[in-house]
Amino acid sequence: MVDLYASHFGINNIPYGIASSASRPIPQAATRIHDSVIFLAELSTTPPFTSIPTPLPLPTLFLRPTLNAFAALPKPLQSQIRTAIQEAYTSNLHAPSSAAIQNVTLHLPIAIGDFTDYSASANHVLNAGEAIQGVRSYPPAFHAYPVGYAGRCSSIAVSPTPVRRPLGQYIEDYTAPEKKIIFGASRALDYELEVGAVIGTPVEPGTLLHAKDADQHIFGLVLVNDWSARDIQGLEMNPLGPFNGKNFRTSISPWIITLDALELSKVPAPQRIKSVSVFMDDPEAPNYSIKLTVEITRKSATTKTCEVGFETMYWTFRHMLAHHTIGGCGLRTGDLVASGTVSGDKDHEHGCLLELTKNGKVPSKLSDGSELRYLQDGDELRYTGVVADGVGFGDCVGVVQEAAKW
Amino acid sequence: MVDLYASHFGINNIPYGIASSASRPIPQAATRIHDSVIFLAELSTTPPFTSIPTPLPLPTLFLRPTLNAFAALPKPLQSQIRTAIQEAYTSNLHAPSSAAIQNVTLHLPIAIGDFTDYSASANHVLNAGEAIQGVRSYPPAFHAYPVGYAGRCSSIAVSPTPVRRPLGQYIEDYTAPEKKIIFGASRALDYELEVGAVIGTPVEPGTLLHAKDADQHIFGLVLVNDWSARDIQGLEMNPLGPFNGKNFRTSISPWIITLDALELSKVPAPQRIKSVSVFMDDPEAPNYSIKLTVEITRKSATTKTCEVGFETMYWTFRHMLAHHTIGGCGLRTGDLVASGTVSGDKDHEHGCLLELTKNGKVPSKLSDGSELRYLQDGDELRYTGVVADGVGFGDCVGVVQEAAKW
C-alpha cells in the first residue's frame, strides 16, 4: 500500500518529525523518505554521522521527544546531517532504522514556547474586511509592517488531532435591532489555511534582527490550520484581538520542511506598495512557491474548496521575524510564527470560509450536494502543500467533533 | 539592616519563590519570613515534612529551578506543607536553611507556557477610551465576559530586571493631516499596574470550568507590570490587538502569594451590571482586597503616582478562568493569567500613564519638579501590594533603559 503522500517525500525533502511505533514506543526524531519513516537515533550511530561534530552525540539528541535541540544546531551542521541522511538512504543503509509510514504514529514535533500569528496576505485582509463590514480596505499599518498577534500554545496539536466545536458567547443575530449576546456552541466554525515557520537558532532578547539575516533563524516550515469560531471571535475582537475565537485548537502538519528543501522554490515576493523601514528593507526577501490546497470531506464526498500559492503573500517570513524582534522581543527555538490566512485574488483561492461564503451569507456547494456556509460536525478538513517534484508537506488534517454539552 | 518589605512577609504569608545565593548557587524553591529566605529543599529533609505524602520527595521537588511541580500538587498537600513551614519557623528549626534577604538572588519563579492578559477593570476601560478617543464607553463584550488577549511568554522577567525602551513604528503626529508612520524609539513608554494569577492544578483541554470551581486551579498571585509602548501599540491594535507595543517586556514580582495567605482578604466583587452566562454565574466570586501602589523615582526623587485597591476590579479571577476554558482551551501549571490595568474611579487611582496624563497630553508633576507625561530613560518604577498586616507582595521594580541604536 502506497501512502497518498509518498511523492511529497523524495530524497530532496528530508523533513523532520517526531515518531513512535510498536517496536519504538518512545517518541523520537525521524525523517521520511517515500513510504519509509527512518528513526534517526538509530541511523546516526554509524559513520558518517559519528564524525559530525555536534555538541551532543546525534543518537542522544535524536532520542529526545521534541526536535528543539536539533533545531537549535547551527545551520551548517544541519545541512551536513541532511546530506548524510541522503547518502545513507542512497547506500541503502537506512533499512534497519526504518518503519513503514502506516505503522508509525506522529507526534507534535516541537515544544512551542510562543506562537505568533501574522496577517501577511493582502488578499485575505481585503476579502475578510469585505465579508464582515462590506468594505475592502487595509488596516492602518498593513503596508508598513506585518500585523500580528500572540496565539495560544497549549492548544497546538499535530494533525490528525480532531477539533471540538467550541462553546462561547456571541451576538445571536447581527440584523436584529437588539444585539443580544447568547451562550452556546459556535455556529460559525471556520478554518484558516496558513504556513508557519519554526524557529531554529534563537534570537536573543534585545537583538535587532534585519530581515536579510532572518533565514538563519528559521528551522523549517509546517502547514497550519488556525481554526476560528467567527461568531465568538467577532464579539471579542474589539479592542484586544482574537482570543477564545481561536484558542481552542490550532493544527500543524507533522513534518517540518527545512529551508534547504525549500531553496529551489524561492520566488520574489510581491512588489512593496509603500517603502518599508530600514530594518525590513530587503528587496530580495523571498516567498516560497508552495501549492496549497484545502479539501472538505462531508459524508464521504470530497470537495476542493481552495487552491492557492503561498507566493501570493505580501509579507515574507523574513519581514515577520524582523518586525517581531525590532522592539527587543527575543525568539526561542521552537517558537511558531505563522503567516495568517493564505488567499489569492481569484474565486478558488480563498483560504477560509469567512471569505469563500462571505461570512456564511453566500453558500458554496459541496460535491455531496449540501450547502457550505461554515463547518458542520463530522466535516473533515485536509490541507496539502506541494513545493516541487518530490518535495511537499504531506497533509494537515482534522475532523470537526460536536460541541461539549454544558 | 531591615529590608523595606520585611513587614509583608509575616508568618501568615509563606510565599514561594526561586532563590539562589553564594553558598546555594543552584536556583531552587524558597519562602520568605520577615528578612529570612528559607531554602525549602533543606528545610524539608526532616519531620514533619518527611511524613507528607507527596508524589516526589519534597527535597527533590524543591530543588527544581521552577515552582511548577510544587504548584501542581493538590491544594490540601500544599496547605499541609505551608503549615509545616510555619511550625518549623515557630520552633526555630529554619535557621540552618536560611539566608538573609540581602544575600539572595531571586529568579523567575515559574516556567510560563502561556500568558493571558485580561482587561477586567471597568474604570481602566472607560479612562483609557477617554484618553485615546475622547469617549467613555465599554467594548461591546465588556459586561458579558472578561475580554482578554494572549501575551508574550519569552519576555516575562522577574523584578528588578530592567526594561529597555523599544524601537518600533508609529504615527509621528496624530494631529497632522498626513498620518506619517515613522521608525524609532518609543516616545510613549508606559506601565500597567496589574495582578496575575499563576495556575497550579491544570485544567485539561476540553474541561469546562465553572467559575465557582476555579480557585482550585490558582496557585497564587503576583504583581505584574505590563510595560506598554502606547505609540507602537496605537498603530498596531487595529484589528488584531496589542503585539510589539507589549511584547518587549513584562515584569512580575518574585514571590507568589498563595490563596491560603489571601483567604482573609476576600471581599465581594462589584455587583454585576448585566447578568452573566451560566458558566460564570457565581455571585460569591470574590475579589481580593489588595492595596496597590505605584511609585516613580526620577533623579532620586520618588513620587507616588497611584494608590488603588484590587477589589475595584469588575471581573474576578474566577470569571477569567471560567471564560478562558469555556471554548475548550486548557490551562497548564505555570500559566500566567493577568488582570489588566487596575484602576479606581478617583484621580489618584490611575494604574497607568495613559489614564493619568490623558495619553501624555495633560502632564502630571513629579516631586523633582519635572513633568510626567510618559516614562523617561532612568525612571524607576516600583509597585507594592499590601494584603493585610504581615501579608504583602513585596515589590515589583524596573528601571527604564535607553533604546538600542539601530
Per the CB < 8 A criterion, the answer to whether A338 and A195 are in contact is: yes
Count of pairs with CB atoms under 8 A, one residue in A, one in B: 181
pLDDT digits (tens, 9 = 90+) for B48-93: 999 999 999 999 999 999 999 999 999 999 999 999 999 999 999 9
pLDDT of B347 > 70? The answer is yes
Residues 6+ apart with CB under 8 A from B293: B304, B306, B307, B383, B384, B385
Strands A115-119 and A336-338: parallel
Burial of A307 (0-12, 13-18, 19+ CB in 10 A): middle
What's the average model confidence in pLDDT over A366-379?
97
Closest chain B residue to the Cα of A278, Cα to Cα: B183
What is the gyration radius of the CA atoms in chain A, in angstroms?
Answer: 21
pLDDT digits (tens, 9 = 90+) for A14-27: 999 999 999 999 99
On chain A, the residues whose CB falls within 8 A of the CB of B406 are 208, 278-279
pLDDT digits (tens, 9 = 90+) for A238-280: 999 999 999 999 999 999 999 999 999 999 999 999 999 999 9
| Residue from the list B150, B183, B232 with its beta carbon closest to the beta carbon of A152 | B150
pLDDT at B118: 98
| Residue from the list B206, B326, B404 with its beta carbon closest to the beta carbon of A206 | B404
On chain B, the residues whose CB falls within 8 A of the CB of A237 are 239, 241
On chain B, the residues whose CB falls within 8 A of the CB of A179 are 140
Cα angle, residue B134 at apex, residues B131 and B138 outer, rounded to 5°? 85
pLDDT of A1 > 70? The answer is no
Question: Touching check for B399 and chain A: CB below 8 Å?
Answer: no
Burial of A380 (0-12, 13-18, 19+ CB in 10 A): middle
Among B283, B305, B297, CA closest to B210: B283
Q: What is the C-alpha separation between A176 and B44, in angstroms, rounded? A: 63
Q: What is the C-alpha separation between A318 and A331, in angstroms, rounded? A: 13
Catalytic residue among A124, A323, A324, A350: A124
pLDDT digits (tens, 9 = 90+) for A200-246: 999 999 999 999 999 999 999 999 999 999 999 999 999 999 999 99
On chain B, the residues whose CB falls within 8 A of the CB of A328 are 155, 164, 166-167, 248-249, 404
Catalytic residue among B124, B217, B319, B323: B124
pLDDT digits (tens, 9 = 90+) for B366-385: 999 999 999 999 999 999 99
Question: Touching check for A202 and chain B: CB below 8 Å?
Answer: no
Q: What is the C-alpha separation between A366 and A360, in angstroms, rounded? A: 14
Q: Do A406 and B154 touch (CB under 8 A)?
A: no
Residues 6+ apart with CB under 8 A from B284: B212, B268
pLDDT at A3: 73
Burial of A274 (0-12, 13-18, 19+ CB in 10 A): exposed
Helices and strands counted in chain B (H then E): 9, 26
- DSSP letter assigned to residue B204: -
Burial of A213 (0-12, 13-18, 19+ CB in 10 A): middle
Sign of dihedral through CA atoms A244, A246, A251, A257? negative
Q: What percent of chain A has pLDDT over 70?
A: 100
Strands A28-33 and A36-39: antiparallel
pLDDT at A255: 98
pLDDT at A4: 84
Burial of B195 (0-12, 13-18, 19+ CB in 10 A): buried
Residues 6+ apart with CB under 8 A from A346: none
Per the CB < 8 A criterion, the answer to whether B146 and A122 are in contact is: no
pLDDT digits (tens, 9 = 90+) for A68-91: 999 999 999 999 999 999 999 999
Q: What is the C-alpha separation between A176 and A180, in angstroms, rounded? A: 8
| Residue from the list A166, A239, A406 with its beta carbon closest to the beta carbon of B278 | A406
Mutate to test the interface with A, among B119, B125, B154 (most CBs of A within 10 A): B154
| Residue from the list A149, A235, A326 with its beta carbon closest to the beta carbon of B241 | A149
The shortest C-alpha distance from B120 to chain A (Å) reads 12
Q: Do A328 and B179 touch (CB under 8 A)?
A: no
Residue B257's SS3 state is strand
pLDDT of A2 > 90? The answer is no
pLDDT of B149 > 90? The answer is yes
Q: Do B236 and A147 touch (CB under 8 A)?
A: yes
Q: Is B124 one of the catalytic residues?
A: yes
Interface of A with B in 66-125 (CB under 8 A): 113-114, 116, 119
pLDDT of B2 > 70? The answer is no
pLDDT at A338: 99
The shortest C-alpha distance from A183 to chain B (Å) reads 7
Q: Do B237 and A236 touch (CB under 8 A)?
A: no
Distances (CA, A) of A382 to A379, B17, B38, B78, B195: 10, 46, 55, 46, 42
